[in-house]
Amino acid sequence: HRNVARLLEGSQVRHVLWTGGGSRSRRAELRLAAEQGRLDLVVATQAVLEEDVLFARLGLVIIDEQHRFGVRQRSVLREKGTAPHYLIMTATPIPRTLAMTLYGDLDISTIDAMPPGRAAVRTRVIGPSQAEHAWRFVRSRLDAGEQAYVVYPLVEATEAKPLKAATEEAERLSREVFPDRRVALLHGQMRPEEKDAVMRSFVAGEVDVLVATTVIEVGIDVPNATVMVVQHAERYGLAQLHQLRGRVGRGGRPGYCYLMTDDERAVRTARLDVLTKTNDGFKIGEEDLKLRGPGELLGTRQHGLPALRCADLTRDLDLLRQAQQDAADILRGDPVLGSPDWRALKTAVAGRFGGRMQFLDVG
């Protein structure tokens, strides 16, 4: 919202930041303004998904980092207007969305160039035996005046999940690995003012190493941070790893990402190897599609094998395009399938998918 405010400074556009925080009276004020049409542009979190949030004239819905939203959540937001235009944005399309693109239900625009001055992040998968190499490299970047992230999947260690956790590891790293460096901790369970204070210190260069959970996955832009180590890397999705490594190399210097696995065998997995070979979000999404499947196009499952007996969405592209064209021709001539020629088709579609049709164009 700070960027929006800067770009719209001096304009007559009425814009507001809408989050789940703030007083009850402030939230009521925002709901009333939206319902009465006194807001032109709302930059919001999932707080606007609440049932009592209504918009007078919702014309455009933009969802950024769409893989972080569930299908039902995206559907709820779109239903807050009368057929609003709909734009979804992501650096790595999740398999379900990529499959819908193949099916032709989404028009797609691709930004295939890096931002000016931005280089591709160099990624390497390593096992426990190479941990010291990674820490030496991090120290070399710190010596060059740069900053680093170390990412863990958990805030606190648990018996159910015997993984390294951010809280304990922040203490260990500060004591054993970076004793002469300023190490800070950031995670989603901290109070908002605590998180803001840590991030301000990191942005100001007062913290050298930020130990964090995936709370840093989006919305973090620190040009001086050039290296990241992700612990238990095999436990993350490809989309999430791609988003995480996008936090480094955002200035004029190269970015580096070490994906550290639980054991040596995981180093050689094809899934993680994809990230060492490309920074292209669509190629990563395609690989995710092959490995996990596209999910239910008319449901809420975002990955898994589709209900196709023979077809393969990644292999039978020519057949898929022909099916798209046939479907478009049928609907162009008879949008509601009212003709006797299509009665059986309409009955079959309704019988198979029923109430799930609402999710077809959610994306």
Cα separation of the two ends of the chain = 24
- Report all structural domains of the chain as residue ranges with CATH numbers, in order of start: 2-89 (3.40.50.300), 122-279 (3.40.50.300), 319-359 (no CATH)
pLDDT of the residue at 132: 95
Nearest CA to 43 out of 32, 52, 34, 56 is that of: 34
Alpha-carbon distance of 321 to 324, in angstroms, equals 5
pLDDT for res 161: 64
> For position 77, what pLDDT does the model report?
75
pTM here is: 0.73
SS3 content of the chain, % helix, strand, coil (to 5): 45, 15, 45
The pLDDT value given to residue 86: 83
User: Mean pLDDT for each consecutive 10-residue tract of the chain (363 residues)?
Assistant: 88 91 86 94 87 88 73 74 81 67 69 77 94 96 97 76 82 96 93 90 96 87 94 88 91 93 81 90 79 61 67 77 88 89 88 66 54
Whole-angstrom distance, CA of residue 86 vs CA of residue 170: 41
